[in-house]
Amino acid sequence: MHELPLIILLALGFGFALIFGLLTNWMKLSPIVGYLLAGIVIGQNTPGPKADEHIAAELGEIGVILLMFGVGLHFKISELMRVRWIAVPGAIFQSLCAVVFTLLFIPLFDVPLSTTIVMGVAISVASTVLLIRVLTDANVLHSQQGHIAVGWLIVEDLFTIAVLLILPIIHDAGSQTDTSKTVFQVLRALGGIVAAMVLIVVVGKRLLPFLMNMVARTRSRELFVLATLVVSIGVALGSAELFGISMALGAFLAGIVVAQSDVGHEAAAQALPFRDAFAVLFFVSVGMLFDPATLMNHYDMILVLLAIILLGKPLAAFLIVVLLKYPVKTALIVAIALGQVGEFTFILGNVASKLHYFEEQHVGMLVICAIITISVNPLMFQMVPWLEKVILGIPRLGPFLRERGISDEQRRMMTTSREMLPSVIVVGYGPVGKTIVETLKTRNVESTVVDMNIDTVRALKEKGQLAFFGDAENRETLEGIGMEFARYLILTIPDPDARAAIIETARHLNPKITIFARTRYNSEEAALAAIGVNTVASEEAVVASELSRMVLAQIAPIQ
């Protein structure tokens, strides 16, 4: 058994991650908690089965690359610009408060200044996975409060990415005693960063989409998946080897470039299973670093960190949102939703460990803080209505806060809703889909086309038609085109398996949507109605009707 460390790691890692993931999901907690617990169980510091932590760390690095590539694919500057007046100052203020709180209290435990600062940045950023889940469960993800929280988190992510960028530079400069060498090291590092960004963003803007489009034309899902992995991992590794920047940053830039191409949605959808699998291993590898002795020996510092995350960060967010004249409810939702830590905390902690800013016990503290805050955050979120009532019930303060709330019209001006997306989605642009889209245009009804032919999609875009390349069977693709906001879905594809998968996902994303579907046989109508199709157009029925009309047209003159 000891000769198969990789297989043992995969079996133990995925196995225990599944067990604890199911357990935490049943407990209405984020599966991230389960993945961290799985790592603790198979780590070297706890009794029971053991896995190779070095191999886990390498596989976890792939998880970081794919996570950052996914962040780049989903990064939309337009969504940030809608809430920029509150998300940018709010995220900066909250992040700075987290660092300041850490600087005020953590040095009491004889922690170096550099470690303290990095620790403050690490706990300043929240978990995207948990935030989306909490907002979704509360049915506010697509509300004004949800838009603000997501935009806020985007700014936090960008701030953390900037830290990931400069941290190695500071480390290299600090290791030099000669001032001239220090300046040279900094300039060389900055030069590498600029060169990498120019090459990836400027040159890659032409090369990467060209490669992805070329593969997309083959209509081979396997080749497209392979191309997505080659781009994400290849660019990340090339950035590190050629320019000395972190692989995480290289993957993020690659994701931004690919997202701007016609295949961006499909790349995000196809990378999702691999990203999720390796992200699980990343969290497992982080959990393996946990030593129970950390909890016993550093409980006081852990309590301080928890106080900053659960109280300090939300309080700072609440104050800035209220000062910007938003309602108390908005301030509470944004503040509490961000009162936790997650993926970027561990990504930054991973880099800090490699650069020797963090020791093993510091990573262990982050693991404990993540487990506790991720577990507690959904429970705290349920207190929003009660807290709003208490705050507004305070004499003088309550009426003052009500009067400061900006009007609904002003908020709509500052946060444009995604509900302005076209209300009709047409899947498939063959002869049937083309006829439907052109017919809708004659009635001034705009539609969104989803098709797997990249050339068709590009041609439609050149004509001004909103179109996306992608496989509509993938949840990621349907989310990307705004299925949650559509009123009608028209399925023109004849493949029954693909059609059923799309219907199931569409109904889950948007229970109120009206679905029209094409089918070849009358016998399929009942099955389609059972899975949620409102109206079915059967080729057998249409052909029979048309042939009957044609025959009658010939018979009538004879009679």
Say if residue 310's pLDDT is above 80: yes
Give SS3 for 177: coil
pLDDT the model gives residue 183: 63
Give the span between the Cα atoms of 427 and 39, in whole angstroms: 42
For the cut 70, the answer to whether the pLDDT of residue 322 exceeds it is yes
How is 68-106 classified by DSSP, letter by letter? HHHHHHH--HHHHHHTHHHHHHHHHHHHHHHHHHHHHHG
**CA-CA-CA-CA torsion sign (152, 154, 156, 158):** negative
Paired residues of 517 in beta bridges: 491, 536
Residue 19 to residue 26: CA distance in whole angstroms = 11
Cβ atoms of 165 and 193 within 8 Å: the answer is yes
Task: Tell me which amino acid residue 199 is.
Answer: L
pTM across the whole model: 0.69
User: For residue 24, what are its two tokens?
Assistant: 């935490």
Edge-to-edge strand ranges of the sheet holding 424-427: 467-469, 447-451, 424-427, 488-491, 514-519, 535-538
CA distance 252 to 168: 17
Sign of the CA dihedral 370, 371, 377, 378?
Answer: positive
Weakest-pLDDT range from 37-51, 309-323, 388-402, 444-458 = 388-402
Across the range 156-183, mean pLDDT stands at 69
State residue 42's pLDDT score: 92
Query: What is the mean pLDDT of the segment spanning 469-474?
Result: 82
Is residue 411 very low, low, confident or very high in pLDDT (cuts 50, 70, 90)?
A: very low
CB atoms within 10 A of CB 444: 6
Helices (H) and strands (E) in the chain — how many of each? 28, 6
* Mean pLDDT value across the chain: 81
Structure tokens at 98: 């987290």
CB 154 within 8 A of CB 75: yes
Which tens digits make up the pLDDT trace of 47-84?
A: 888 888 888 888 888 888 888 788 777 776 666 677 77
Instruction: Give the separation between CA 371 and CA 321, rounded to whole angstroms.
Output: 27
Taking residues 267-290, what's their average pLDDT? 83
Mean pLDDT of all residues in 284-299: 85
Please name the residue that has the structure tokens 């889950």: 508
Complete domains list, the chain, with CATH: 5-381 (1.20.1530.20), 421-558 (3.40.50.720)
